[in-house]
Structures are given as structure tokens and as C-alpha cells.
Amino acid sequence: MKRALVTGASGGIGAAIARLLAPTHEVWLGGRTIPDDLPGRPWPLDLRDFDAFEERTAEIGDLDVLVHSAAMSDLGPVATTSLQTWRDTFELNVFAVAELTRVLLPKLRAAKGHVVLINSGAGIRINATWGSYGASKFALRAYADALRAEEPDLRVTSVFPGRTATEMQRKVRALEGGEYEPENYLKPETVARAVLNAINTTDDGHQTEVVIRQRATAV
């Protein structure tokens, strides 16, 4: 059975991806608190503890799929966004991704594996108050493009979901001063199915980017 590591598996899109991968992969679940009913092997790790990556990834063995789903967002005008917010956002959304991938590259190369990066619509277009988060997602897209160009034996897929019904989205809506309306957003499972489709693409194909948006509300 193939093996996959999913970060951000505590909930939302990461947990949905882990559930869909479980029938065909041994799934390692990266996250602080993993739901009891989530199939797979919990792999708790502070993704900002870069010095622990070498030792902790040695536990995993071979690796076919790496899904980066962990992220943070802290909205606010650039005029009032603190330097610490910029640092925290880039540390988790970009630096942790780059370092964890670097450490796992020998395993991924050996498997001719697949790296999936859950990006955001903010990685394509930034709105007001989304500066630090959007900048980190633009950087994540550039990182994926560089990794794809430098590692031709790997498949590297950037996924750009629209608003998705997750706890992060609930917090985002509170920061925006709006209502959390999950019925108008993508389901995490919908994004997860798009990810699974990219992973299951036959060997002659490579889905480099997947953009998925919620449908307009029917009138």
C-alpha cells in the first residue's frame, strides 16, 4: 500500500483529504489534535519546530504523497499588520512547507511521488486586508512552480479553493465582520475529491494547478 503524509489533518480540508486517501494509502496524520474517527496514524508535530523535522520524518519510511494543508490566516490592513504577524504567517504557510518538503525529498524522489499544496484563491488574487495571508500564498505558488521545474520526476500540484466551510473560514468571516454561511461555500469533501483526482491521474498526466470555486447561488 502506498503511503501519504497529510499536514493540517486536524480538520477541514486536511481531514477530508485523509479520509479519501485512507482506502488506498497508509495515511500519516499531521496535526495537533486528530479526530478519533479519522483513519490513519496520528503524527503530532509543531510545524514551526524545523529542527525536529529530520528526526520525526525518519519514522515515516517510504513516502508516495505529501499533502501540505496546514495554514494560518490573520487578516488586517497592511498599515496595522505587525511584523510578528508577517513572520508567523510565512513561517507556517511557506517556510514549514519548504523545509518539510526538503527533508522528505529523498523519499519522494525514490517513489517518484506527488506533492500537493493546498493554496487559496488568495494565491491568485488578493483583496484588501488579506495582505500577509495572500502574500504567503503567492509565495507558496512560486515555491510549487520552482519545485516542479527542479524535480521533473515528481508531480507537484497547487490547489486553489474558493471559500470552504471550515473553522478557518469561520474565523475569517468574523475578522471580515460578516456572517459564516457554510451553505454558500465549498464543502471540504469537494476540495478533497479534486485533490484525489489529481493524485489518481494516470502516469502520462500531471495536474499542475487545480482551481475550484463554489457555484453561484441558484436564483
pLDDT digits (tens, 9 = 90+) for 128-161: 999 999 999 999 999 999 999 999 999 999 999 9
- Domains in the chain, ordered, with CATH? 2-212 (3.40.50.720)
Which residue from 202, 203, 125, 114 is spatially nearest to 157, judged by alpha carbons?
A: 114
pLDDT of residue 190: 96
Q: Residue 180's pLDDT band (boundaries 50, 70, 90)?
A: confident
pLDDT digits (tens, 9 = 90+) for 65-107: 999 999 999 999 999 999 999 999 999 999 999 999 999 999 9
Q: Indicate the DSSP class of residue 95.
A: I
pLDDT of residue 219: 36
Please compute the mean of the pLDDT values over residues 205-219 and round it to a whole number.
83
C-beta separation of 86 from 122 below 8 A: no
Please compute the mean of the pLDDT values over residues 173-179 and round it to a whole number.
82
- Label residue 211 left, alpha or beta by phi (over 0 means left) and psi (-120 to 50 means alpha): beta
From the centroid of its chain, how far is CA 34? Answer: 16
